[in-house]
Amino acid sequence: MLRSLVTSSGTALLLTLSGDILAQEAVPTGPPNAPDQTPAFEGQTRAPAISDAPTLHSERVAEGLEHPWSLVFLDSDTALVSERPGRLRAVDLHEGTLSAPIEGLPEIDARGQGGLLDISLDPDFASNRHVYFSYAEPRGDGTNGTSVARGTLNQDHTRLDDVEVIFRQTPAWDSTRHFGSRLVWDDQDRLYVTLGERSLPEPRQLAQDLDTHLGKVVRILEDGSVPDENPFADGEEGLPEIWSYGHRNIQGAALHPQTGKLWTIEHGPRGGDELNIPEAGKNYGWPVITYGEDYDGSPIGDGITAHDGMEQPVYYWDPVIAPGDMAFYQGERFPGWNGNLVIASLSPGGLVRLTLDGERVDGEQRLLEELGRVRDVDEGPDGALWLLTDSSDGALIRVTPEDS
């Protein structure tokens, strides 16, 4: 006979009558796309399911957004939201009203997965009002690349002034896929930028090439210059902006609130979405190693999952969750969630919640799948979770526990 035990982190264990652990129930997701692959260590995938699912209340605060991509709070009353077709809007968080598109943005290539992407406030925004944004920049002859620009937001949120590009991904490519990109500041005001490898078979190989920015995390200062502590800062072994390499398409990133380390989440192909903690100068393997397979069912490269000199993901998913952005929850509004990682999911949709034991995942939960494609998730000033749904009629949604 079996009985169930719920651990302090909410994960479910199956026990025999003698108390021995017999099995750990994972989130039901169906079979993996690559069933012959095995994880490199215990708990690297299919962590035990968290069983203490809260009842959540979701409120559609603002509607009518076209493929919204990123959300940032100016204060407890107003947020900025980017729309992939190339619009930036201010949102009244109480009334749910959208401003007219903020003026001053540069030309943006909004084909395919391109467009206006992440937005971030300068750490000293209160005094300088600098807003940073990443976007697909047209580079001529059908080519494009991820660029980062900054501008000064005026007091009535109608215009960005003095807009300048501070970083350009090179080389440009004729592709409409895999731009990245998230912008994350560390505690020393250095800006991490995540960059896709442009998807196509030829440019994806450049994720391993340190003379390009494709498939990389880069780290720059507020004006685009290079921190002296970057691993290739002297430019002799690689481009000086590079922090880590061998990535596919990172669309989620957050700084750990206790350790200060950057955590990222990237799209795999069919299977193989990865959670990583990128370290200086290290190689994360794409496209040499992956826990996924190509979309036609064929292996990527030699079909291997490990190689000398290449880092393993902290955690991976097969089947995928198609990750958007992610956030470490730091509030108290969701009891027991402080320190948990909350991830936006495009497929199957909703949110993925992970509990952590240090730098290992020890529990997983799926929530709000009925919302469909969620592109961004952030903790608001009120301790609620705020989401953006990615559709032609997208919404800004506020999520709280039902009993709060």
**Annotated catalytic sites, by residue?**
178
53-401: CATH topology: Neuraminidase (2.120.10)
Residue 112: the pLDDT is 98
**Lowest pLDDT segment from 48-57, 150-159, 280-289:** 48-57
Tens of pLDDT, residue by residue over 121-132, are 999 999 999 999
CA distances from 9 to 57, 187, 285 (A): 22, 29, 31
Tens of pLDDT, residue by residue over 155-177, are 999 999 999 999 999 999 999 99
DSSP code string of 309-364: T-PPPSEEESS---EEEEEE---SSSTT-TT-EEEEESSS-SEEEEEEETTEEEEE
* pLDDT of 42 higher than 70: yes
What's the rounded mean pLDDT across residues 110-129?
A: 98
Q: pLDDT confidence of 404, banded at 50, 70, 90?
A: low
Q: Which of 62, 48, 132, 52 is nearest to 97 (CA)?
A: 62
What's the rounded mean pLDDT across residues 302-331?
A: 98
Neighbours of 299 (CB within 10 A): 14
Tens of pLDDT, residue by residue over 339-358, are 999 999 999 999 999 999 99
Q: Mean pLDDT, the chain, as a whole number? A: 94
Calculate what percentage of the chain has a pLDDT beyond 70: 94
Q: How many residues does the chain have?
A: 404
- Write out the two tokens for 347: 């497929």
**What is the Cα–Cα distance from 163 to 187, expressed in whole angstroms?**
25
Cβ neighbours of residue 271 under 8 Å, at least 6 residues apart? Answer: 32, 33, 34, 291, 292, 293, 317, 318, 319, 320
Domain ranges of the chain: 1-25+47-52, 53-401
Q: pLDDT confidence of 17, banded at 50, 70, 90?
A: very low
What's the rounded mean pLDDT across residues 385-404?
A: 94
Residue 2: the pLDDT is 35
Q: pLDDT confidence of 21, banded at 50, 70, 90?
A: very low
**What is the Cα–Cα distance from 351 to 374, expressed in whole angstroms?**
7
What's the rounded mean pLDDT across residues 195-224?
A: 98
- Write out the two tokens for 362: 């020890």
What's the rounded mean pLDDT across residues 363-378?
A: 98
- Write out the two tokens for 235: 């430019």
- Write out the two tokens for 37: 């692959």
Cβ neighbours of residue 259 under 8 Å, at least 6 residues apart? Answer: none
Ramachandran sector of residue 187 (left: φ over 0; alpha: ψ -120 to 50; beta: rest): alpha
* pLDDT of 19 higher than 60: no
Residue 14: the pLDDT is 44
